[in-house]
Amino acid sequence: MLVLARKIGERILIGEEVEVTIISVRGDQVRIGIAAPAEVNICRAELAHQVRCENAAAARGAWAVREAASAALKPARDAADNDTRVHAPRSVRAIRERRRARQ
Amino acid sequence: MRVATAFGEVDIPDEVVLHFPAGIYGFPQLRRGCLLPYGATSGLRWLQSLDEPSLVFLTVEPYLVFPGYEADLPEYDAEALELTAPSEAAIVTLVTISAESEAVTTNLLAPIVINTRTRCARQIVLDSDCYLTRHLIGGEIKDDFHAGLSAEDW
């Protein structure tokens, strides 16, 4: 593992496109800012592990359901019979308002 | 286009294809998918990979499971999805059927968020203590889920 010492406000570049900034240090807690392209997932490592495991379990379970499911539960081969629309959301918190408030 | 799926070949119109630029956690190869109906139920859907026929998930609309569900998206993820307004986003969550018990759960902590304008999608881990990766599904949704499954298997 590469270990670097950095001061508050200093940055680290990972590859060409991922930039990490040290925002603040208080006691044993460090706040960091990360700028990265959209193809990069960023989240706390322990949560990522938990979600990876859950996704794997979900895929196994769905495959088992597919085996057990009667024809009625399987999608039609003719697209016209499949409702593939994505429905409108009901509660994504107001992104725009939050941004406005911050500015 | 005609695509091989877990259910045989299915006609998928281009306009319903979902793009996952970052894949999903544990499945970085999931780049293109689509939602297919689960029987006649409205809240449950299959999420089928369009590149890997055997990769399929079950999804549910989280509001049906948890009426007060609110996904407060981290700014980075909202920007990565190019969401400009909450009304552009649609959300489904992945369903897990436990191998050990008959429990049916859904991952409210890491929803799949879809930008309905661009049809880009992303699995987002919420910064929240309120939601679990295994939130128990009960009631009508669970009944919908079981309807049509053969009794000897379940």
* Region class of A15: left (phi > 0), else alpha (psi between -120 and 50), else beta: left
pLDDT, one tens digit per residue, over B82-137 is 998 888 899 999 999 887 777 899 999 999 999 999 999 999 999 888 899 999 99
Question: Looking at this protein, which amino acid is placed at residue A87?
Answer: H
- Residues on chain A touching B97 (C-beta within 8 angstroms): 61-62, 64-65
User: By CA distance, what is A57's nearest residue in B?
Assistant: B96
Encoded tokens for B20? 């996952």
Work out the minimum CA distance from A28 to partner chain B, whole angstroms: 20
Task: Verify whether the Cβ–Cβ distance B37 to A39 is below 8 Å.
Answer: no
Q: Tell me the pLDDT band of B7, cut-offs 50, 70 and 90.
A: confident
Name the domain count of chain B: 1
When the pLDDT of each residue in chain A is averaged and rounded to a whole number, the result is 80
Domain ranges of chain A: 1-38
Range of the domain at B22: 2-139
**Of A98 and B7, more confident:** B7
Question: Which one of A52, A64, A86 has the shortest CB-CB distance to B26?
Answer: A52
Task: Verify whether the Cβ–Cβ distance A65 to B149 is below 8 Å.
Answer: yes
> Is residue B145, in this structure, part of any structural domain at all?
no
Residue A45: which H helix or E strand, with range? Answer: helix A45-68
Task: Verify whether the Cβ–Cβ distance A77 to B70 is below 8 Å.
Answer: no
**Is the Cβ–Cβ distance between B123 and B72 less than 8 Å?**
no
CATH number of the domain where residue B13 is located: 2.30.290.10
- Residues on chain B touching A91 (C-beta within 8 angstroms): 63, 68-71, 86
Structure ipTM: 0.91
Best residue of A21, A34, A87 to probe chain B, by most B CBs closer than 10 Å: A87
> Is residue B44, in this structure, part of any structural domain at all?
yes
Question: Which one of B12, B38, B78 has the shortest CB-CB distance to A79?
Answer: B12
| Cα distance between residue B19 and residue A82, in whole Å | 19
Buried b (16+ CB within 10 A) or exposed e, A46-73: ebbebbeebbebbbebbbebbebbeeeb
When the pLDDT of each residue in chain B is averaged and rounded to a whole number, the result is 88
Task: Verify whether the Cβ–Cβ distance B57 to A69 is below 8 Å.
Answer: no
Q: Tell me the pLDDT band of B22, cut-offs 50, 70 and 90.
A: very high
> Is residue B32, in this structure, part of any structural domain at all?
yes
Task: Verify whether the Cβ–Cβ distance B76 to A36 is below 8 Å.
Answer: yes
CA distance to A12, A30, B76, B86, per residue, from B32 (Å): 32, 37, 22, 23
Question: Which one of A61, A77, A93 has the shortest CB-CB distance to B72?
Answer: A93
**Is the Cβ–Cβ distance between B125 and A43 less than 8 Å?**
yes
Task: Verify whether the Cβ–Cβ distance A54 to B154 is below 8 Å.
Answer: no
pLDDT, one tens digit per residue, over A72-97 is 677 776 655 555 555 444 445 544 44
> Is residue B62, in this structure, part of any structural domain at all?
yes
Task: Verify whether the Cβ–Cβ distance A86 to B90 is below 8 Å.
Answer: yes
